[in-house]
């Protein structure tokens, strides 16, 4: 069963500012290739862009930021690239945690963290504990994450609860199902941004994105900065969110 985490007392965003922004960080490899650099340096530049995105989100008044850092499909990449990515993850878990805690950022990881091995799993747990009291921004990092696998795992967990007699299948509704997802205590994203010009979700937050607004940016992720976030939020402000309640 996917264990629910304690809820977090973080105030909602100001009117006109998305409470929860999710970003599909795409383009590290193309950024490196366009400069004749190895892909590992593209991933490092992408990690630097993460820092800018966190700072810009906090400054803009965003309360929840979810970053798609490593998908379940990424395990199928060449072994040397996976090794470089996990080494970078290991480094930043150790190097950035103290700064996140000072800035009031609460870090949480969603996904199958156990696939990274015990050392990284322990580092993730330590980072979450160190930043647990942060109240300025909730930072969720999706690692070894795939939305279809998340939904399937939630369905299995619900089935186990029903088989054990702890849950009446007739009572299962959307709210019940949501409690078995990695994002059980998190608000759904208001705005989903994807960089690099691609226009698809790539198995990211499929359940949670039901009423999100989408902004697709041509910028490659390592070049992402505060101005790009501001432009995406500006586009969000200009839209009227109807949630299917009425037509145009």
Detail the residues annotated as belonging to a binding site for Mg(2+).
Answer: 26, 213
Q: What is the DSSP string of 137-204?
A: EEEEEEEEE-HHHHHHHHHHHHHHHHHTTSS-GGG--HHHHHTTSTTTTSPPPSEEEE-TT----SSS
Which entry of 19, 48, 74, 218 is annotated as an active-site residue? 74
Q: How far is CA 125 from CA 121, 122, 130, 131, 141, in A?
A: 6, 5, 9, 10, 13
Cα–Cα distance for residue pair 140/153, rounded to 1 Å: 19
**203 labelled catalytic:** no
Residues that constitute the known binding site for substrate: 27-31, 39, 43, 71-73, 75, 77, 194, 200-202
Ranges assigned E (strand) in the chain? 20-24, 64-71, 105-110, 137-145, 191-194, 213-216
Cα–Cα distance for residue pair 216/117, rounded to 1 Å: 34
Which entry of 19, 26, 84, 228 is annotated as an active-site residue? 26
**48 labelled catalytic:** no
Residues 6+ apart with CB under 8 A from 234: none
Residues that constitute the known binding site: 26-31, 39, 43, 71-73, 75, 77, 194, 200-202, 213
**Nearest Cα to Cα of residue 193 among 185, 202, 183:** 202
Indicate which residues carry an active-site annotation: 26, 74
């Amino acid at each position: 069963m996917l264990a629910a985490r304690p809820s977090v007392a973080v105030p909602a965003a100001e009117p006109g500012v998305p409470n929860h922004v999710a970003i599909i960080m795409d383009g590290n490899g193309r950024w490196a290739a366009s400069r004749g650099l190895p892909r590992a340096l593209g991933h490092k530049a992408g990690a630097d862009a993460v820092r800018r995105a966190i700072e810009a989100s906090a400054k803009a008044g965003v309360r929840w930021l979810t970053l798609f850092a490593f998908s379940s499909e990424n395990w199928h990449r060449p072994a040397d690239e996976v090794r470089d990515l996990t080494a970078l993850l290991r480094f930043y878990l150790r190097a950035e945690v103290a700064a996140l805690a000072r800035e009031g950022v609460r870090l949480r990881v969603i996904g199958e963290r156990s696939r990274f091995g015990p050392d990284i799993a322990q580092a993730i747990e330590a980072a979450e504990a160190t930043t647990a009291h942060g109240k300025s921004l909730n930072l969720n990092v999706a690692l070894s994450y795939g939305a279809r696998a998340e939904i399937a795992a939630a369905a299995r967990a619900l089935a186990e609860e029903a088989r054990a007699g702890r849950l009446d299948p007739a009572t299962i509704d959307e709210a019940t199902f949501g409690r078995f997802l990695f994002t059980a205590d998190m608000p759904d994203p208001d705005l989903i941004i994807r960089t690099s010009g691609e226009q698809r979700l790539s198995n990211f937050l499929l359940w949670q994105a039901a009423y999100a607004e989408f902004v697709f940016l041509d910028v490659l992720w390592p070049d992402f900065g505060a101005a790009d976030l501001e432009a995406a939020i500006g586009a969000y402000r200009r839209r009227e969110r109807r949630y299917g309640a009425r037509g145009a």
